[in-house]
């Protein structure tokens, strides 16, 4: 009887142990599946969005619609983002980027005034009236804003960004109206060296905020990858 009882207990223990092992294996499989699903539906779109944000910051051209982020909000998937990280992302997309976009608009408007003044100063005196009346597109807001962004990018130190159409338009303006020949890159660099003393930029806050936002974008990417427990997207699965 004792031997039967011992055998029974051992058998039940083995069943219990086997059941526990099966449970743990299934739990790990489920957790892995949930992690991969979260990576695919939530974190991967966020990584893509942050890549786009950083590129746009380098061009000073923010698209504040943020489709990937808005899609996660509309589907209520942001509630599945890890606590702490969710709050950082919310602050980043809803407040920080929005506020800096307003700063970009203000900076471009400020520099475009300087661009217009510089163009008029370099224009032949007898041609200024014609430039103002018969060739308004050279002083149009779109042309001035594009020049202003190039000046800002030069001022910040991101290097030149190709814009062939803008350079062609400038070349036409220079040949037709300027007193002296001034290459486009020299025109931009000269203005960039001047605006650093403008009251809007003198304290360095605009440049500092941009650098902080780019650093924040990179930090958020690292935190997302850490939450996904991956080093790169090829490690999913």
Cβ-defined contacts of 54-58 (< 8 Å, 24+): 54/214, 54/217, 54/218, 57/210, 57/213, 57/214, 57/217, 58/153, 58/158, 58/214
Asked if residue 206 lies in contact with residue 107, where contact means CB atoms within 8 angstroms, the answer is yes
Asked if residue 138 lies in contact with residue 173, where contact means CB atoms within 8 angstroms, the answer is yes
Considering only 6-15, 20-29, 145-154, which range has the smallest mean pLDDT?
Answer: 20-29
Specify the pLDDT at position 197: 86
Nearest to 206 by CA among 98, 94, 100, 55: 100
Q: Which residues face 123 on adjacent strands?
A: 178
Cα–Cα distance for residue pair 203/75, rounded to 1 Å: 42
Cα–Cα distance for residue pair 55/153, rounded to 1 Å: 13
Asked if residue 153 lies in contact with residue 210, where contact means CB atoms within 8 angstroms, the answer is no
Encode pLDDT of 157-171 as tens digits: 876 567 899 999 999
Considering only 34-38, 111-115, 155-159, which range has the smallest mean pLDDT?
Answer: 34-38
Nearest to 47 by CA among 31, 69, 64: 69
CB atoms under 10 Å from CB of 132, counted, come to: 13
Backbone φ and ψ for 123, nearest 5 degrees, come out as -80, 140
Q: Which residues face 105 on adjacent strands?
A: none
Specify the pLDDT at position 235: 47
For every residue of 54-78, which 3-state class applies, written as one string? HHHHHHCCCCCCCHHHHHHHHCCHH
* Average pLDDT of the chain to the nearest whole number: 83
Question: Three-state SS for 123?
Answer: strand
Asked if residue 91 lies in contact with residue 74, where contact means CB atoms within 8 angstroms, the answer is no
Encode pLDDT of 76-108 as tens digits: 888 889 889 999 999 999 999 999 999 999 999
């Amino acid at each position: 009887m004792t031997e039967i009882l011992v055998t029974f207990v051992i058998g039940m223990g083995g069943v219990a142990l086997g059941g526990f092992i099966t449970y743990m294996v299934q739990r790990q499989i489920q957790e892995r599946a949930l992690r991969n699903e979260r990576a695919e539906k939530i974190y991967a779109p966020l990584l893509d969005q942050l890549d786009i944000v950083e590129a746009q910051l380098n061009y000073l051209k923010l698209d504040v619609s943020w489709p990937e982020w808005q899609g996660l909000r509309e589907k209520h998937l942001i509630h599945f983002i890890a606590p702490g990280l969710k709050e950082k992302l919310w602050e980043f997309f809803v407040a920080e980027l929005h506020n800096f976009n307003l700063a970009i608009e203000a900076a471009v408007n400020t520099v475009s005034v300087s661009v217009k003044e510089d163009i008029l100063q370099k224009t032949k005196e007898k041609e200024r009236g014609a430039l103002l009346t018969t060739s308004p597109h050279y002083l149009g807001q779109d042309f001035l804003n594009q020049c202003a962004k190039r000046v800002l990018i030069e001022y910040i130190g991101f290097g030149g960004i190709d814009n062939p159409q803008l350079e062609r338009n400038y070349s036409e303006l220079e040949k037709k109206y300027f007193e002296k020949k001034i290459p486009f890159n020299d025109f931009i660099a000269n203005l960039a060296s001047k605006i650093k003393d403008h009251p809007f930029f003198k304290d360095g806050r605009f440049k500092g905020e941009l650098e902080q936002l780019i650093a924040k974008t990179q930090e958020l990417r690292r935190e997302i990858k850490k939450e996904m427990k991956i080093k790169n997207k090829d490690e999913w699965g």
